[in-house]
Amino acid sequence: MPFYITRQAPKLWRKICTETTIEISLVAENWKLLIAGIVFQYIHGLAAHGIHYLHRPGPTLQDAGFFLLPELGQDRAYISETSFTFLFASFVLWTLHPFVFQNKKIYTVLIWCRVLAYLVACQILRIFTFYSTHLPGPNYHCHEGSKLARLPHPKSAIELLVINFSRGVNYGCGDLIFSSHMIFTIVFVRTYHKYGTNRCSKQFAWLLAVAQSFLIVASHKHYTVDVVVAWYTVYLVTFFIDKKLPDLPGAAHRTNISATATSE
């Protein structure tokens, strides 16, 4: 076994170097799109941070999901975040697999260009919706009496512009319709369904997305409407973008580029 690993190591290293060369060339071609998509993640976080200043706690709205699903409670709210983190990490690792494995169906850079396009379009719509109507947050820290339900007015522009993303994800209030977690979940699962190769993994990913929907509601992170609107909005947005943007190069085209890069 150690001898086999030693023999395969040079091949793996050559593959990593070849893939890196190809991906760097793609970054050089698409860097503006990548930078724009990444910068907008900050803008989206800034908008979510801003709505927290405007949030006013109030009675939790009547919600069918809260009535039908058993409440996880504060002690088990981490289950929802754990499920989302697993899905997020799994997708990121899948987009990086061409650097190691022989499957050559996707380019990592082009996948992320398309994913960022999906995310930005959905997040623009999300910003408009949660600023249009301010709803009282259903999460425990957003209730009346909680110190986190309202943010004190910023004392400077720096305080307003500097975002603690971890705090915003876990303790934000007001950015409700529609769920950001579901945007990422549906975009990742749909992208894998389209460009992935393992049928069982695709089915499991969709089951995980459905389970994530229930967990978000059961943990009272969002109202049911936030999740329902996310499902059809994100799916329609990604469908529209796929119609407008040219599809990613196929496996045959990718193989030709890889062979050219190797020969050079």
Residues with active-site annotation? 181, 222, 226
Cα atoms found within 13 Å of the Cα of residue 231, Cβ hemisphere only: 11
- C-beta separation of 164 from 52 below 8 A: no
Distance CA 192, CA 111 (A): 10
Q: For the chain, how far is it from start to end, CA to CA, in angstroms? A: 33
Residue with tokens 């059809």: 232
CA–CA separation, 230 and 223 (whole Å)? 11
The two tokens of residue 30 are: 């698409």
Among 231, 208, 211, 207, smallest CA distance to 219 is for 211
Three-state DSSP class for 57?
coil
Amino acid found at 146: S
User: For residue 153, which of 57, 48, 53, 46 has the smallest C-alpha distance?
Assistant: 53
Question: To which residue do tokens 């190797």 refer?
Answer: 262
Separation CA 24–CA 28 (nearest Å): 6
Q: Are 30 and 109 in contact (CB under 8 A)?
A: yes
